[in-house]
Structure 1
Amino acid sequence: MHPRDSTRLRQGWIATCLATMLLVGQAIAADREQEAEAAESKAAELEQEAAAEGREALSSPPEIITKPEAQAVDPVGEAPLDDAITCLARTIYWEARGEEAADMEAVANVVMNRLGHEGFPGTICEVVRQGSEQGPCQFSWWCDGRPDIAEEDDSYVIAKEIARKALNGQLLDRTGGALYFHHRQVVPSWAAEYIKTIEAGEFVFYRPPDGTAK
């Protein structure tokens, strides 16, 4: 074989490999997008079911969210806060990143408890965004004026897995029905009016004495 022909063959082989890699990459991206769409759709139904508990239950239980589906949502931690998984995962991440998984789960419990309580909004994003960026607000990360992009991949992966379990109804309520919590280093004025349910890690959790949200 002439050396020039050999070079052409190598170039053709490289071009074929690159084209194959591009196609594979596009297929993977398409699969992740489909998984994300499926997760967001399921999450919306699960969110409705959680909000309806004690009121009017849905006629047919929604499908649960799988782990790959949940992880496909907001893969780089910078999506807008407009779906249940992202809003819940970002809250878990910003309120409790770096804490034990059990403490992160407890934060998720508070959000889900509020979702099912008539004194709070009927969607997770509305629960999280209750208040304003300038305050007063219900969750400190939402009103601190800083960017809301999740920066630590490992912690955000854990937060999304906890959010998935919470939406699926697979998360044990560690807080005893708490609707409020604060960091140990902060003692808000409202704490004296509420009933302490548990202390977990760096957090203290509460519920109102009469079950009425304030």
Structure 2
Amino acid sequence: MIGVKILALRTALLGAAAAVAASPSLPVKQSSGDTIEKQLGTKMAKSLGAMSTGADQELLLAGSTAQARNSRIPKVFGKTKRLAAYAPIAPGSASYGTALKCLTQAVYYEAANEPRTGKHAVAQVVLNRMRHPAYPNSVCGVVYQGVNARVCQFSFTCDGALLRAPLRRQWAESESVAREALAGKQMEAVGTATHYHADYVVPKWAYTLAKLEMIGTHIFYRFPGRAGEPRAFAATWARSERVPKINWARFSASGDEPEEFALAVEETWTPGLTVVPNKTDRHAPADVGGRIDTTKQWRLSIPDPVANKGSYDAAVEAQAASEALAEPTPVTEPAP
């Protein structure tokens, strides 16, 4: 799991992408490239499209080593700045129902097992993005950004997770959080955050943003400089909400919208080793859900500690030296 380049873990990251990456069927507030570039800086503005949640996301580290590295990234200096409450969507309207569904999906699929504060934090990131000129200016536009593209902003929209029925209790709690967020509830600790990632990975972009807070297993960040200041969040709601058409054929060979996935190939049975699919499983076949089928992937083996001591010591020394050289400099901002 640990290496200089590691493929992303499902739903582990939430990075940024350019506003032009949004689905054309979604309302998007078109801000000039000059405005966004001036706010973010030329380098970051050009790299937005590469900061994604897709399976090609490049990580620096993963696992327990990542948690230690994340703890060394300092928080931004001073008090976290927050946005004024913003609740432009009238409850009971058609747009409200659609926005509530999209926001509930984001909270559920990204943070179903997080504490309530963690759910609120994810909801606030979605609504913060809606108010920033670098992103679509509707709730569903933010949630479904890039849904039919090569990469998407919230991986649950493009990895087949939506084909799995949600658990009732967690969905109800996620919807409750979404309602409060749409009513204008703000978490001061999250402030103007527009990004987060799980603490067990270190994405390259973590060193380019300003770290705010860790809530549950997620670490939240905002844009550095004036792009992360409250005055930068000047976009207004699009006054309409739409869920885009999804290319379900990406998730099913038949092109249908199945209620659940079926295994595509016949499995090889090895007594005591093969992971048996269960009808209560709520994940796609490609998502091992924390389990490893040892007939196909890595199999546990315990090396001889005596015979391998020399190579182990050498590996530890080499890794320590590599980390000392490779660790980027975190974003720091001057005291106000």
If the TM-score is normalised by the length of the shorter chain, which range does it land in?
Answer: 0.5 to 0.7
| Correspondence 1:97 to 2:112 | yes
Tell me which residue corresponds to 1:145: 160
Whole-Å separation in 1 of the counterparts to 2:224 and 2:89: 33
Counterparts of 2:226 and 2:194, CA distance in 1: 9
Identical amino acids, percent of aligned pairs:
35
Q: Could you tell me which residue of structure 1 aligns to residue 131 of structure 2? A: 116
Which amino acid is 2:99 matched to? Answer: A
Q: 1:62 to 1:187 in 2, by over 3 A?
A: closer
- Preserved contact between residue 115 and residue 127 of structure 1 (Cα < 8 Å): yes
The partner residue of 1:195 within 199, 203, 210 is 210
Distance 1:121 1:103, change over 3 A: same
Tell me the secondary structure at the aligned position of residue 155 of structure 1.
helix
Distance 1:93 1:148, change over 3 A: farther
Cα pair distance change 1:131/1:86, threshold 3 Å: same
Closer/same/farther in 2, CA of residues 173 and 190 from structure 1, 3 Å limit:
same
The CA distance in 2 between the partners of 1:140 and 1:147, in whole Å, is 10
User: What's the Cα RMSD here?
Assistant: 2.8
Query: In the alignment, is the contact (CA less than 8 A) between 2:108 and 2:170 conserved in 1?
Result: yes
Q: CA deviation at 1:63?
A: 4.6
Give runs of aligned pairs for residues 160-199 of structure 1, distance below 5 A. Answer: 160-199=175-214
Q: Which has the higher contact order (CA 8 A, sep 6+)?
A: 2
Amino acid in structure 1 at the alignment position of 2:181: A
Give the helix-richer structure, 1 or 2.
1
Q: TM-score, normalised by structure 1?
A: 0.59
Structure 1 residue 204 and structure 2 residue 219: aligned?
yes
Partner residue, 2:122 = 107
User: Residues of 1 paired with 2:145 and 2:178: CA distance?
Assistant: 19
Cα displacement string for residues 109-138 of structure 1 (whole angstroms, at most 9, x for unaligned residues): 100100111111011111011123464221
In 1: Cα distance, 2:203 partner to 2:150 partner: 15
Counterpart AA for 1:110: V
Q: 2:99 aligns with which of 84, 87, 90?
A: 84
Q: Could you tell me whether the CA contact under 8 Å between 1:181 and 1:205 is conserved in 2?
A: yes
Is contact 1:134–1:144 with CA below 8 Å preserved after alignment? no
Whole-angstrom CA distance in 2 between matches of 1:150 and 1:197 = 33
Does the Cα contact within 8 Å between 1:106 and 1:173 map onto a contact in 2? Answer: no
- 2:200 and 2:174 mapped to 1: Cα distance? 23
SS of residue in 1 equivalent to 2:118: helix
When Rg is computed on C-alpha atoms for both structures, the one with the higher figure is 1
- Aligned twin of 2:170: 155
| 5+ residue gaps, structure 1 | 1-47, 49-53, 74-82
SS at match of 1:147: helix
* Aligned length in residues: 142
Q: 1:211 to 1:145 in 2, by over 3 A?
A: farther
